[in-house]
Homo-oligomer: A and B are copies of this chain.
Amino acid sequence: MSVDPRLAALSINHKTVDGWSMPELVDGVAAAGLQAIGTWREPVAEYGLDRAAKLVRDAGLRVTSHCRGGFLTATDPAARAAAIEDNRRAIDETATLGAPTLVIVAGGLPDGSRDLVGARERVADALAELAPYAGERGVRLALEALHPMYVADRAVISTLGQALDLAEPFPVEQVGVVVDTFHVWWDPEVWRSIDRAGDRIASFQVCDFLMPIPADVLLARGYMGDGVIDFPPFVAAVEAAGWRGEVEVEIFNADVWAEPKAQVVETVKQRYLAVVVPG
């Protein structure tokens, strides 16, 4: 099979083909002529961590990111300790999979809380506990700013600039940031923030932002080209900032999930070439 050389940088996040087992993911991505995947904890655990690591390694694939750690905003001491411990396990998994990066989704407001400032401070405190642990295992925590519509229930990190504020107290090899077009495209400061990010960029993810926003706002992601994002300026910006890693495609979308998975991978390849890195 002849493969466009631009596809060497394309990574398929497991969520895009949600429902595939680990072997189906690895086989499907390799069969499509691709070289990289983003993994999620649950399917890795289901298949077995060591088996999953061997499966990926034997197939010659790279794991670009492991999803996900975080949810670090609890006020209850026991819940907080459990979250820290769970993140240590996620860091261990990331190292075993040979992935450089664990994606961190900060977590939202605790139930009934309106203290957004406090929740953000607790994320910073938790990072101080986790960053050295990650660094010792050769794993970088990648702080993901999520679109502000998810601030209350999912991630109190809302902009790339805020993610950088949280990352910069730590060594660059311990804490970086995710640039996910879906989450940051609206931000008037995004170009300045990407430039500022430089070698803090630990993951570059793409998918489109669909309009109108569907009833389940978690599923507003779509194939590149189906929404309102102009992708090439983002590719140019992260490259100008020094990013030489993969472009990972992560799509949460009920219609995409209903399609045959191999067809989803083909559509992602076509859209990546036509819309993300055209010409």
Contact = CB atoms under 8 A, between A and B. Distances in A.
Given A188-B159, A217-B217, A152 B211 contact: yes
Nearest to A190: B116
A60 interface: no
Interface string A111-153: 0001111001000000000000000000000000001110111
Interface size class of A (residues with CB under 8 A): 20 to 34
Given A158-B186, A158-B187, A188-B159, A116 B230 contact: yes
A122 to B, nearest CB: 14
A215 interface: yes
Interface string A12-29: 000000000000000000
Given A115-B230, A116-B185, A185-B116, A212 B148 contact: no
A149 B214 CA distance: 12
Nearest to A147: B148
B217 A213 contact: yes
A109 B120 CA distance: 32
Contacts of A233: 117
Interface hub of A120, A158, A186, A209 (most chain B Cβ within 10 A): A186
Contacts of A211: 152-153
Nearest to A183: B148
